[in-house]
Amino acid sequence: MAKNETILRFEKVSFEYGHNKPILDEVSFPVRRGSKITIMGQNGAGKSTIFGLITGALQAESGTVVTDNKLNIAISRQVIPRGDLDLTVREFFQKCFTEKIYDIDPRIDDVLEVVNLKGHEKVHDRILRTFSGGQQARILLASALIQDPDLLLLDEPTNNLDHAGILHLTEFLKNYQKTVMVISHDADFLNAFSDGVLYLDIHTLKVEQYTGNYKNVLKDITARVERENMKNAQLAKEIQAKKDQANVFAHKGGGLRLVARRMREKAEELEDEMVDVRKEDKTIRSFVIPCQEDLQGEVVHIKSLSIVSPKTHKIVERKAEISLKKKMHLLLAGPNGIGKSTLLESLAKGTAKGAKITEGIRVGYYRQDFSTLNFEDTVLQSLRKVLLEITGKIDEEYLRSVAASFLITADVINTKIGDLSEGQKGLVAFARLVLERPGLLILDEPTNHINFRHLPVIASALDKYEGAMILVSHVPVFVAQIRIDEKLDLDK
C-alpha cells in the first residue's frame, strides 16, 4: 500500500455535546498512511472527541468521517475504564477482541515485553486495580498493540509513566512503522517523533493542520500572528486617514460631500479586510492555595513505609524518619510500581501503618484518577459542598471567582464532572484545593492531563504553599520550579 495513501479523512465534520455545547465546526483534514500525527489544544477543546469520532464511539452532527472498511483501529485510552478495574489482565486483553483468542497468554507476554512491563510473566491473573498508575499506562498501550492496528490512537500515553517509561515509549514511536495519532500535553515528548500536528482552536472550533512537530507549529503560529497584527495595524492607519479626510470634506459642503461619502465607504471596505488574529489558548490565572489557619508543630510523621520490591515484587517494610511541619515540602520519588500512589492513598485515609497525621490537620488530596470527585455532581455542586464543609456557608461570588480562575466558566460550571475532559477534571480538583484550605497537601501526579501552558502557574502556587506538602511527579521540569525541602526515594 502506498505510503502517502489517505487512510482517514474528516469532511466538514461538526459535533456538539448536548444543547449549545459545540465542540467542532465543519472540521476537515486528511491523515496519510505511516504518518505520526499529534493532536493538541486547550483542555476541553475536543481532542478526545476526535478519537471518539474516528472509532465510531461518537457520531458527527454533520459531515463525514471517511475510513477504509478494512482499516483496523485501536485506541489506548487515558485511563482504564472504572468498570474494568476488577478484571484480570487476561480478561482485559480478551475484551479487545470480538472472538475468543485461545493463545491469548503468549500474545499478552509479547506486547507487555514491548511496553517494558517488568515481571509480566506472572501477571495474567492479577487484578488491574492492583497495578500502579504507570503500570496501568503500559497495560493500556499494550491492549492497543495486541490488536496489531493499522491506525494506533494514543490518548495521553505519558501520563503516570516514569522517566524510563517515557524514554522507552518515545523510542518505540520513533521506530513504529504504522500510522499513529497521539494526544499529549508533553511538548518535549511530542517533538521527538511527530511529523504533523492537528491543532484544535477552542475559539473558532476549527482544526488547523501543520507539517512538522510542535516546535514548528509554535514558529508558524508566532509568525502568522505577527503578520496578522502588522496587517491590521496598517489597515487601521489607512481607515483612520480615510475617516479624517471624510470629516474634512463633509464640512466643506457642496460637491465635496459626495467625496466624503466615498471616503467613508472606502473606510468601511478596509474595515472588512481586517483579519481575526489567531487567539492563543487561555492560561489559568495565578492562584494561591491557602494554608489551614493556626497550623503549628508537626503535621505528619513517617517512621516506616511499605513498598513493592522491584526485584521480588513483594511488599517489604522500610524504615524512615521524616517529620513534616508547616512550609516543608517532601518529594516522593521512585520507579513505576514501587508503591508511591498506594502510600499517598494510605496517608490520606489515615491507614498508613508507619505514618501519622496530627489530629485536626485538614488534608487536601489530589488523586491522579480523580476518584475523590463525585462524577455525578455538577462542578458547581462539587465546589459548593467543599465550601459548605469548610466555612459552613456558601459565598457564591467567591466560589465563582475561584472557578473562573481555573477556566471554569458559565458554560462549564453546570456540567457533570463525569462529562468533563480529564484535563478539566484536574482543574476542578485544583479549584477544590483552593476552597479546602488544607494543612497537608498530598499530590499524586498533578501534571497528568493538564495543558502544559497551565503547569508553570500550578508550579508557582505549589512553590508558595505554606502548609506541609507531599508530592509525586515524574516531570523534572515541573518539579524544578517547586521548592523541595526533603526527598524520599523509595528505590534507595
- pLDDT number for residue 374: 93
Summarize pLDDT for 437-468 with one digit per residue, the tens.
Answer: 999 999 999 988 888 788 999 999 999 999 99
Our CA angle for 188, 422, 455, nearest 5°, is: 45
Better-scored residue on pLDDT, 258 or 311: 258
Helices (H), 89-213: 89-94, 104-114, 133-145, 163-175, 187-191
* Least confident interval from 145-149, 271-275, 302-306: 271-275
pLDDT at residue 490 greater than cutoff 60: yes
| Whether 355 contacts 382, CB under 8 Å | no
C-alpha closest to that of 51 among 75, 34, 30, 31: 75
Between CA 192 and CA 174 the distance in angstroms is: 8
Angle (nearest 5°) at CA 193 between 423 and 35: 95
CA distance 298 to 286: 29
List, for residues 60-74, the tens digit of each pLDDT value.
999 999 988 788 999
Q: Say if CB 309 and CB 316 are below 8 A apart.
A: yes
Q: Which residues contact 18 (CB under 8 A, 6 or more apart)?
A: none
Enumerate the β-bridge partners of residue 209: 198
Measure CA of the first residue to CA of the last residue in the chain; give whole Å.
51
Q: What is the pLDDT of residues 7-50, one digit of tens each?
A: 999 999 999 886 677 889 999 999 999 999 999 887 778 888 99
Q: What is the pLDDT of residues 236-291, one digit of tens each?
A: 788 888 888 878 777 776 677 787 788 788 877 777 776 565 555 678 999 999 99
Residue with grid cell 456558601, as numbered in its chain = 394
Backbone angles phi, psi at 449, to 5 degrees: 75, -10
Q: How far apart are CA 336 and CA 334, in angstroms?
A: 7
pLDDT at 443: 95
Region 321-328: mean pLDDT is 92
pLDDT confidence of residue 120 = 62
Q: Is the pLDDT at 343 greater than 90, yes or no?
A: no
DSSP string, 402-440: HHHHTT--TTTTTSBGGGS-HHHHHHHHHHHHHHH--SE
Grid cell, residue 231, equals: 496587517
Nearest-5° angle of CA 17, CA 424, CA 401? Answer: 105
Asked if residues 425 and 373 have their Cβ atoms less than 8 Å apart, the reply is yes
Predicted pLDDT at 1: 46
What percentage of the chain has pLDDT greater than the value 90? 40
Tell me the three state secondary structure of residue 26.
strand
Return the closest-CA partner of residue 65 out of 31, 93, 91. Answer: 31
Provide the 3-class DSSP secondary structure of residue 70: coil
Percent of the chain's residues with pLDDT above 70:
93
Q: Are 20 and 410 in contact (CB under 8 A)?
A: no
Judged against a pLDDT cut of 70, whether residue 121 lies above it is answered with no
Spatial neighbors of 460 by CB under 8 A, at least 6 apart, are: 286, 481
Model confidence at 128: pLDDT above 80: yes
Question: For 365-401, what is each residue's pLDDT tens digit?
Answer: 999 889 899 999 999 999 999 999 999 998 999 999 9
Torsion 431-432-437-438 (CA) sign: negative
Per-residue pLDDT band for 434 (boundaries 50, 70, 90) equals very high
Predicted confidence band of residue 417 (pLDDT cuts 50, 70, 90): very high
Q: 69: which 3 cell numbers?
A: 472498511
